[in-house]
Amino acid sequence: MKAKITTLFVIAALLATTGTAFASQPENRPGNPPPTSIERANRPVGAIPHRDWHRGDRLPSEYRDRIFVVENWNQHGLKAPPRGYHWVGVAGDYVLVASATGVISTVLPASTH
């Protein structure tokens, strides 16, 4: 019986401290900026230019997946890619890339089209 009461007391104490710890999170006030992760999640969605992409460089491997390939290039106002090239689209930027090597031929930042 004594063990049950002690267990219940420990559980009640843990629940009480969890609630106060949650309540003591810093508030988002003008002088208190939000954590970076919240800031990133709340930023406006739109074109994020990739200024580090340049002609002759290789497209980073994370963008060489088929999900980034622009198949309907004419609907995006792009010219037909030459044989052996394809368009890659990321956050409003378009990059013409050599299919075999990943070398960048043309970069069209979001602000130019």
For the stretch 48-100, pLDDT in tens is: 446 678 899 999 888 888 899 999 999 988 999 999 999 999 888 899 999 99
- For the residues 28-40, what does the mean pLDDT come to? 54
State the Cα angle at 64 between 62 and 69, rounded to 5°. 125
The one-letter amino acid at 31: G
